[in-house]
Amino acid sequence: MKPTLLAVDDESEILGILTIALGAEGYNVITATSAEEFRRANAQEEVDLYLVDVSLPDGNGFTLIKELRRETEKGIIILTGRSSETDHVVGLEIGADDYITKPFRIRELCARVNAVYRRTMRPSANSEDAPTGPADAGDALPGRQADYTFEGFSLGIGSRTLHAPDGEEIELTAAEFDLLAELLKRRGQVLNRDQIMNAVKGREWESYDRAVDGLVSRLRRKLGRGVEDGRNFIRTVHGVGYSFTR
């Protein structure tokens, strides 16, 4: 079954390019020209990935992204005709997974969309190809696949899930999950901001301090739902970066 992509942009020419290019990549592309049309389409369709233009005739794309992040962990990519660093940082801070600046190259567009879709889709927890990693002996709960564990939390790489000590699943965005996985993989090491951005977004990203700090802050808040304050898990090393301490 084709994954469904919902794109909103006030330029019909852009939507036409998206429909043809991403349709050829195997996506079922649904388009909207306003925030109202976008919300209506999203309510009617089962969407797997979103492309959201920043400037819309009846609203702000950032508002739509905030609304989506309250409801879903599906991939969100910002479309913007503005190259301002502030726009990019704000988009990352509120939960977007990537951004594409217009005008864009078709090959780059398809590569970024495919990368975000692969990163945010959730494979079966029983997948035979699910990678395994080190876990603390005896710390995982029975019946739960855990590649990494800490203080009763369990992280499954193949299923891309995080469970709290009480067994409740904690919803993470793709970037939050990749950050936590990288910190656990290199537990005890200090990662600088460039290393973090390379791990969660790929080397094509520029490292924005505010974006990294915002990502860490959101992850800490979610980890704080467990037995301790999230700051007790992720330590700030001033002037350097962050380290997972447990």
User: Does the pTM of the predicted model rise above 0.85?
Assistant: no
Domains: count for the chain: 2
Do residues 37 and 97 share a domain? yes
Strands 153-156, 169-170: pairing is unpaired
Do residues 114 and 152 share a domain? no
Distances (CA, A) of 223 to 183, 226, 231: 13, 6, 8
Instruction: Indicate the range of 34-38, 50-54, 109-113, 139-143 predicted with least confidence.
Output: 139-143
The domain spanning residue 166 has which CATH number? 1.10.10.10
What distance lies between CA 234 and its chain's CA centroid? Answer: 19
pLDDT tens digit sequence for 32-67: 999 999 999 999 999 999 999 988 999 889 999 999
Do residues 12 and 88 share a domain? yes
pLDDT tens digit sequence for 60-75: 899 999 999 888 888 9
Do residues 21 and 114 share a domain? yes
244 and 184 in contact (C-beta within 8 Å)? yes
Residue 33 domain boundaries: 4-120
Do residues 109 and 162 share a domain? no
* Model confidence at 217: pLDDT above 60: yes
Distances (CA, A) of 225 to 73, 156, 178, 192: 18, 18, 19, 26
Give domain status of residue 195, yes or no. Answer: yes
Q: How confident is the model at residue 18 (pLDDT cuts 50, 70, 90)?
A: very high
Do residues 64 and 24 share a domain? yes
The domain spanning residue 51 has which CATH number? 3.40.50.2300
103 and 109 in contact (C-beta within 8 Å)? no
Give domain status of residue 96, yes or no. Answer: yes
Name every residue whose Cβ is closer than 8 Å to that of residue 144 and which is 6 or more positions away in sequence.
154, 156, 163
Give domain status of residue 141, yes or no. Answer: no
